[in-house]
A = this chain, B = another copy of it.
Amino acid sequence: MTGAMVPHLVSRWPAWLFWWRVACTPGASLQHRTWVEVSRRPMWGSPWRVVGTGSLVRRGSSSTSSRAPEVVLTHERYPVQRLPFSVVSEEDRAAFERMVPGRVIMDPEELEASNVDWLRSMRGCSKVLLRPRTSEEVSHILRYCHERNLAVNTQGGNTGMVGGSVPVFDEIILSTALMNQVISFHDMSGTLVCQAGCVLEELSRHVEERGFVMPLDLGAKGTCHIGGNLATNAGGLRFLRYGSLRGTVLGLEAVLADGTVLNCLMSLRKDNTGYDLKQLFIGSEGTLGVITAVSILCPPKPRAVNVAFLGCPGFAEVLQTFHTCRGMLGEILSAFEFMDATCMQLVGRHLHLASPVQESPFYVLVETSGSRAEHDAEKLSGFLEQLLGSGLVTDGTLATDQRKIKALWALRERITEALSRDGYVYKYDISLPVERLYDLVPDLRARLGPRAKHVVGYGHLGDGNLHLNVTAEAFSAALLGELEPYVYEWTAGQRGSVSAEHGVGFKKRDVLGYSKPPEALHLMRQLKTLLDPKGILNPYKTLPAQA
C-alpha cells in the first residue's frame, strides 16, 4: 500500500518546502560539512476534487483525470469470464433498501468512483453500492447475497494497487465507509477497537491525542480504511519498527459468506485458545470474509523523531549504510528507505520538489523515533559522523522538527504520484534478499533500452522490499511482454516474493505460482471453498484463475 497516495499531505501543509542546514547536530566533525542550502519552492496544488457523489473525495491522481483517457472495462482489457452469479434484480434492490434504508446507491455517476481503481487501470460495471453501518447489516446483506448467489466486492478506501478493491463485472459493492466509529481506546494498554471503515489518518489522530501511535503508516493514510489495511495486510512505513499487522492486530470481527458473524475481537496481547482465526482474514483481500471491526495494539508515541536524508555514491554504500545504521541506532531506528537518482529527478520534474542534498546515484531516508531527544541526537550524530568519515555517504541533511520531517518524507512518499505523471506505469512490488535488492533495475534498463521512458527502483530497504516501476508513453503489450514473466522469473530465481506488500488482487492472481508451491495454492483453494463455498466474496481475486 505504501507510496500509493499522498496528496492529502498537501492540503495540510504550507505550499512550499524548504531546506536547511544541520543545526542541531552536536557532532563537531559534522559542523564543517557543506549541507545543501535552503530554498523555497512551490508544491503541486490540491488534489481535492468534486466527484459525482456530491461529496469531496480524495484520490491520488484524480486531479489529472480530466486529461486521462476513459478507463477501459476490465473484462474488455483482460481475458476474464463472468462467473454464473445472479444479476441484481429490482426485487433484490428493494430487499437491500429494507436492510440499509437510504443507503443503497444506484446512481451511475455516484458509482463511477467505486467502479474504477485509483490507478485508473480497471473498471467494473457494478450497478449497486451498499453502505451498511453495522456488522449486523453486513450480516443481513451477506446472508441474502449468499442465498441469492449474488457476488460481493467489499471496498474500503479504494487505494489498492492490484485491482482488489473494485468489481471486475457487476459485483455488488459493499462499502465500509459508514462503519467509521471508534469503539474504545484503552489508555493503559494502548488498545484501539474500532469499526473497519475508520480512516487510518483519523485513527492516528485519535490515538496520538492520547499519547500513542498507530503501528502502521502509509502514503494512502488520508483515504485508506483500517479494514482494508487488514484485508490487504498493509506494510508501509513503520513496518521496520513495529512489524507486521499479524503481530499488532489483537482481534477482529468478520462476517462470513453465509452471514455468520465471527467475533474474534479480543483485546488481549496474548491469547492461545485454539487456532488464531483472525489470521485467515488478514491479507485475504475480502475473499474469505468481510472484516467489520478491528482491535489493534498501538505503541506509545515516541517523544523524539529525527529524519536524516543522505546521498550515497552507490548501492553497495546504501547497504553498508543500513548495516552501520542497525548497529549504531539500534532500537531507535524506525525507517530505512531508499530511492535512486531517477526517482529524485521525476519527483523534481513532475512535483517540483527539490533535492535537499547534492545529486547522488542513491538517496537514503533514515528515521529515528525514541523517548529522549538528546540521546537520539547523540546517536544520530555519531552515526552520521561515521558515515561521512567512511565515505559511505557524500552529503546529507537532518531534520528534527515536524514540518521539515514531513517535507523530507514527501520526497519518498510522493514518488508514486510523480511516476503516475510520467506516463503509463508498469508496477512491481517485490521482496528480495536485501543484497540483491537493486540488481534488477540496471538489468531492466539494459534490457528495455529506449522502449522504456524510465526504470526506477525505490522502497523499504530495511524490509527487503523493492518498488520497481517502469514508465512508458502509453500501455504497450509488447513492452509488457518484455517485462513479464521476466521480472517474476528473476524474482523467483532469488526466492523472492512477487508481491511484497501490495497483495494479489485481480492483477497478480496468475503469478502467485512464482512465489508459492502447488501444494500451497491447493490449500488456499481448499480454504476458499471451506469459507465461501459459492465463491461470492470478491470473486476473480487473490486465487489463481482455475485452469
Q: What residues make up the interface of A, taking CB atoms closer than 8 Å to B?
A: 186, 188-189, 211, 232-233, 235, 239, 243-244, 246-248, 260-264, 266-277, 279-280, 282-284, 288, 300, 302-303, 319, 322-323, 326-332, 369-372, 375, 378-379, 431-435, 460, 463-465, 495-504, 508, 512, 515-517, 519-521, 523-524, 526-527, 530, 542-543
Contacts and interface: CB of A to CB of B under 8 A. Distances in A.
Contact of A524 (B268, B275, B302, B330): B275
Contacts of A369: 331
Contact of A270 (B260, B497, B520): B497
Contacts of A432: 268
Contact of A515 (B271, B371, B516): B271
A488 B94 CA distance: 46
A269 B379 contact: no
B270 A465 contact: yes
B512 A266 contact: no
Nearest to A267: B495
Contact of A269 (B266, B275, B431, B527): B431
Nearest to A503: B272
A273 B524 CA distance: 11
Contact of A519 (B239, B260, B319): B260
Contact of A504 (B274, B303, B331, B527): B274
Contacts of A279: 246, 276, 279-280
A523 B277 contact: yes
Contact of A497 (B189, B266, B323, B375): B266
A64 to B, nearest CB: 28
B262 A520 contact: yes
A469 to B, nearest CB: 17
Nearest to A235: B270
Nearest to A233: B272
Number of identical protomers: 2
A521 B378 CA distance: 53
A274 B519 contact: no
A283 B273 CA distance: 9
Given A189-B433, A246-B279, A263-B520, 15 more contacts: A188-B433, A188-B435, A260-B519, A262-B523, A269-B463, A270-B463, A270-B497, A270-B500, A271-B431, A273-B512, A273-B515, A274-B521, A328-B371, A331-B371, A526-B530
A499 B247 CA distance: 18
Contacts of A273: 497-499, 504, 508, 512, 515-516
Contacts of A504: 272-274
A361 to B, nearest CB: 20
Nearest to A246: B246
6 contacts: A188-B322, A188-B433, A261-B519, A266-B497, A269-B463, A274-B543
Given A330-B370, A370-B331, A282 B274 contact: no
B435 A277 contact: no
Contact of A188 (B332, B434, B516, B519): B434
B371 A329 contact: yes
Given A263-B520, A282-B276, A283-B276, A270 B319 contact: no
Per CB-CB distance, the 8 closest pairs between chain A and chain B, nearest first, are A247-B247, A330-B371, A279-B279, A268-B431, A271-B497, A270-B500, A243-B247, A273-B515
A530 B499 CA distance: 27
A275 B270 contact: no
A378 B378 CA distance: 13
Contacts of A501: 270, 272
Contacts of A248: 243, 247
A233 B521 CA distance: 24
Contact of A186 (B189, B433, B498): B433
A246 B244 CA distance: 9
Contact of A375 (B272, B282, B378): B378
Nearest to A276: B283
A189 B464 contact: yes
Q: Which of A379, A431, A543: most chain B CB closer than 10 A?
A: A431
B275 A280 contact: yes
A140 B264 CA distance: 37
Contact of A246 (B239, B247, B499): B247
Contacts of A271: 431, 497, 499-500, 515
Contacts of A370: 330-331
Contacts of A211: 327
